[in-house]
Structure 1
Amino acid sequence: MHVQETDRPDGSPGHHRGRRPADRTTDHPVTPLYRHLYRAATEVARAPFTRRAWAEAAYCLIGFPLGLAGGVVLAVVLALGAGLTASLVLAVVGALLLVAGLQFARALGGAHRGLAAALLGERTPVPPPTPSGSGFVGRLDAPLRDGVGWRAAAYVLAKLPVGALGAYAVLWWVTGLVNLTAPLRWGVFGQRPTAGDPEGMPVLTPVPFGGLDADTFAGTWLAVLIGVATLACAPWVTRLVVEGDRRLIRALLGPERLADRVRDLEETRALAVDDSVALLRRVERDLHDGAQVRLVAVAMGLDMIRERLDAEADGKPLDTGRLRQLVAGAHQNATEALTELRDLARGIHPPALDEGLPDALATLAARSTVPVELWADVPQRPTPAIETIAYFCAAELLTNVIKHSGARHAAIGVTQREGLLRLQVTDDGRGGATLGAGSGLSGLAQRVRTVDGRLDIRSPEGGPTAVTVELPLRA
């Protein structure tokens, strides 16, 4: 077991430390690069067969007709309503159409939220209901001022191009699967050149221009190779589209951002107060039940030693054996009290953080029973509170890797970009980590929220797992 400096996973120089298993071959400089290339190749090969890839493809497939139909209808209703509103005679009719369009957008937004929750695990809070006013004018005016409805309408309209991109992503899956059947279609179904039709079997590609034909049976295996390559790329094309859709859902289909922000500030303030109170109670309990008891025992032992020394001064015989026992007991209690005080202080602020977060994380990696690679790029040191939170998050996540994931390898990366400290812990275990599953992630999420941070968990069934913690540099 050793810790060594090496390059970052992307090949650029950096503060990169790793704990290696006791194997002489890991000292070769090519080994880290080979490990990363092997891991990347394995992930690419497994991607088309993962549940996540098929769920994202299904989301794009179902979302395209829903987004197309909903977007076209909403665009027509809003355009017609806006046009009629400009007319003095039909302004009320136009306003009614706009209200109907916003209600329709809310309903479509709910359908898209449900689809994203079912297939992507993207659970967005349901926004508040449409506000209502008094009187005819109030009931007409309040929905028109509904920010949630207008943001839902913006999402439904934005879903038109995003849904088209999703359909294009599904095309990668279709063309890849069809090309895999090329030899079967040639030999069994007779799709080959004939005297009346000299053109060969078309080889499908997701590229919208050009084209290939298989004129011989050997050429059908070229189509198979193209199909394999297309299927290998299909999950990543789909994931790119889905990631853009996720961002739109978070930005447009949830509650008002200002209301969310106020509620988050209230909750994080309460969490910070509860956390500080719990910490004080734990310190008081540990001092009362641990170090205080030891120090009382030391004081009693010293009193007994003083009494025996006073008795010896009065002429009474001195029992040196008993005196040695009392001194040994007092020494043992003092030593144990110091140990408990040191452990208590380490729980509040780990001494390893005195030299900075990278060195503290290197200590964690060196003590892990699972091989851990660490790389860090923190040019500006965060405040002590942020470093402490990042350290305890890394320690808890690494504990989860060891206890629950069944992983053979883990990695810790910490970087600093755009005023944020980004900590990521990954492993090649079985996956399936979620909030509220008894793995301590809920506690981490609360700890991170107290400083306005963010916790992101990507852990599909079968792995790999990647947990990212983003923290401000100053608390």
Structure 2
Amino acid sequence: MTTTGRNARGHATPGAGALPRRVLGAPLTARARAELAHCLLGFPLALAGFLPVAVFLALGAGLTVSLLGAVLGLLLIGTAIGLARALSGVHRRLAAGLLGERVPAPARPRPEGRAFARLDARLRDATGWRSVAYVLVKLPVAAFGLYAAGWWLTGLIDLSAPLRRLALGQEDIPTILPVPVGGGAPYSTSFAGTLVAAAIGTLTLLTAPWFTRGVVTVDRWLVRALLGPGELAERVRSLEETRALAVDDSAALLRRLERDLHDGAQVRLVALALSLDMARERLGADGEPVADPGRVRHLVELAHRNATEALTELRDLARGLHPPVLDDGLPDALATLAARSGLPVDLAVDVPERPTPAIETIAYFCAAELLTNVIRHSGARRAALGVTRRHGALRLCVTDDGRGGARAGAGSGLTGLTQRVRTVDGTLEISSPAGGPTTVTVVLPLHA
């Protein structure tokens, strides 16, 4: 039977037996096997990459110092950089296949010009030098990984000590310790001694996955830090994506406005013009009596109704661009939004400094869309909307007590919100386990 508890918010938490089961089952998990395979495959690959790169770099540096061999030395250094770049691709694929650590490959330089221009571009390639750094640092990390893999082997050998004594008749069975100690390995000369060795082997096997995971965690960090496109390149790529999103969003907004004006207000205004034109014809020439006053009155009333509806539609379109309630600030706008919601909303707003109008507009539309999602999809009875300023950013959080399971791309509008907040370097995070609660957090800068 699984025992669960409740945390301070009333949600279920794992029981006291979860941690022992996790520790005892760690050697049998797919993650442990994948990390062990990564350590075993990583060492020969690291060794095979370290030797040529280090040799080319050392020879290149030595020749570059001399006057006669400077050109050859630079060629050797360029070769080391190119080799390190190729090896980094192999390491990225290995990390992606076994660890699920998918790092986008950096763009390859495309130098133009003669041989010296291409060599100069390669020597100035920051991504290539980071690949060189990874290849050089990978070897000691991989050596620790091989040592961690040795824990698995020593644990299995010690665990088999009783079986080897009974089945093979071995008298003196050494107990292999994973940590080197002085005096050599102790021997088991009795069956009871083999049970002690088996206990040591069991403890080693239970510890091995966590030691392996520690080494793999270091390697993950190195892959992300050194084999990716780099902070500047990633920033440029993100800016290009957000610029494209902003352009697409603006184009979609213009198309929607054109469609709404064409199908709505424009039709009303055309009907207004026709009604007034017909009414003018019914009035006749100056000084003549009106032949059908009732018909004229009806046409004027129809024109008045079309004018009113056209004004309403234009007002709605303007509200979609910039809600008038934001004129008094974001707190009042969110209070109005919460009051008009179809379910109870607990509102808490603490924003001492007013953001720029663009940020206020995005925050308002995010809150409106998230509350709409709560009403349409969550089955919640109550929601909470909180806006605070934290660490120099605007933090908007919407929580509900619904069924959970919300995710971007599920027709909930969260994908569109993510794209909208990214245009101003904002972020959107979703926490929605099955059964709820759902919490969506939007973080926006105070100034666009």
Task: Please give the TM-score of this superposition, normalised by the length of structure 2.
Answer: 0.60
Change in Cα spacing, 1:308 to 1:392, as seen in structure 2 (3 Å) is same
What letter is aligned with 1:349? H
Largest Rg, 1 or 2: 2
Stretch moving more, 388-397 or 363-372? 363-372
Q: 1:389 aligns with which of 340, 351, 362?
A: 362
Question: Residue 329 of structure 1: CA displacement?
Answer: 3.1
Structure 2 equivalent of residue 188 of structure 1: none
Alignment of 1:111 onto 2:84: no
Give me the whole-angstrom Cα distance separating, in 2, the residues matched to 1:197 and 1:92.
Answer: 64
Counterpart contact for 2:144–2:215, Cα < 8 Å? no
Q: 1:344 aligns with which of 317, 335, 340?
A: 317
Alignment of 1:86 onto 2:68: no
Change in Cα spacing, 1:131 to 1:311, as seen in structure 2 (3 Å) is closer
Alignment of 1:430 onto 2:410: no
Alignment of 1:287 onto 2:270: no
What letter is aligned with 1:143? R
Counterpart contact for 2:57–2:80, Cα < 8 Å? no
Q: Helix, strand or coil for the counterpart of 1:381? A: coil
Change in Cα spacing, 1:432 to 1:280, as seen in structure 2 (3 Å) is closer
Q: Tell me which of the two structures has the higher relative contact order, counting C-alpha pairs closer than 8 angstroms and 6 or more residues apart.
A: 1
Identity %: 58
Give me the whole-angstrom Cα distance separating, in 2, the residues matched to 1:70 and 1:399.
Answer: 53
Give me the whole-angstrom Cα distance separating, in 2, the residues matched to 1:198 and 1:58.
Answer: 26
Q: CA RMSD in A?
A: 5.8
Counterpart contact for 2:141–2:215, Cα < 8 Å? no
Alignment of 1:396-415 (within 5 A): 396=369, 414-415=387-388
Structure 2 equivalent of residue 333 of structure 1: 306
Counterpart contact for 1:169–1:241, Cα < 8 Å? no
Alignment of 1:145 onto 2:124: yes
Question: Residue 147 of structure 1: CA displacement?
Answer: 1.6
Q: Helix, strand or coil for the counterpart of 1:113? A: helix
Change in Cα spacing, 1:275 to 1:430, as seen in structure 2 (3 Å) is closer
Give me the whole-angstrom Cα distance separating, in 1, the residues matched to 2:391 and 2:341.
Answer: 31
Give me the whole-angstrom Cα distance separating, in 1, the residues matched to 2:144 and 2:384.
Answer: 34
Q: Helix, strand or coil for the counterpart of 1:294? A: helix
Alignment of 1:38-437 (within 5 A): 38=11, 60-71=35-46, 74-84=49-59, 85-86=61-62, 88=66, 98-115=77-94, 117=96, 120=100, 122=102, 124-129=104-109, 134-135=114-115, 142-156=121-135, 201=199, 204=203, 249-255=223-229, 257-258=231-232, 261=235, 265=239, 268-269=242-243, 271-273=245-247, 275-301=249-275, 319-320=293-294, 322=295, 325-326=298-299, 328-357=301-330, 360=333, 377-396=350-369, 414-423=387-396, 429-430=404-405, 433=408
Q: Helix, strand or coil for the counterpart of 1:128? A: coil
What letter is aligned with 1:391? Y
What letter is aligned with 1:390? A
Give me the whole-angstrom Cα distance separating, in 2, the residues matched to 1:346 and 1:240.
Answer: 56
Question: Residue 298 of structure 1: CA displacement?
Answer: 3.9
Q: Residues 332-385 of structure 1: CA distance to partner in whole angstroms, max 9, x if unpaired?
A: 334422331222122111344344445555666676778877765544322111
What letter is aligned with 1:151? R
What letter is aligned with 2:131? A
Change in Cα spacing, 1:285 to 1:308, as seen in structure 2 (3 Å) is same
What letter is aligned with 1:102? I
Counterpart contact for 1:133–1:140, Cα < 8 Å? no
Counterpart contact for 2:43–2:146, Cα < 8 Å? no
What letter is aligned with 2:226? L
Give me the whole-angstrom Cα distance separating, in 2, the residues matched to 1:470 and 1:106.
Answer: 36
Give me the whole-angstrom Cα distance separating, in 1, the residues matched to 2:249 and 2:81.
Answer: 43
Task: Please give the TM-score of this superposition, normalised by the length of structure 1.
Answer: 0.57
Change in Cα spacing, 1:298 to 1:63, as seen in structure 2 (3 Å) is same
Question: Residue 72 of structure 1: CA displacement?
Answer: 5.1
Question: Residue 154 of structure 1: CA displacement?
Answer: 3.2
Change in Cα spacing, 1:155 to 1:91, as seen in structure 2 (3 Å) is same
Question: Residue 143 of structure 1: CA displacement?
Answer: 3.4
Structure 1 equivalent of residue 184 of structure 2: none
What letter is aligned with 2:306? N
Change in Cα spacing, 1:86 to 1:394, as seen in structure 2 (3 Å) is farther
Counterpart contact for 1:376–1:413, Cα < 8 Å? yes
Give me the whole-angstrom Cα distance separating, in 1, the residues matched to 2:244 and 2:134.
Answer: 33
Question: Residue 249 of structure 1: CA displacement?
Answer: 4.6
Counterpart contact for 2:54–2:136, Cα < 8 Å? no
Give me the whole-angstrom Cα distance separating, in 1, the residues matched to 2:424 and 2:126.
Answer: 28
Unpaired segments of 5 or more residues in structure 2?
A: 1-5, 23-28, 157-189
What letter is aligned with 2:257? V
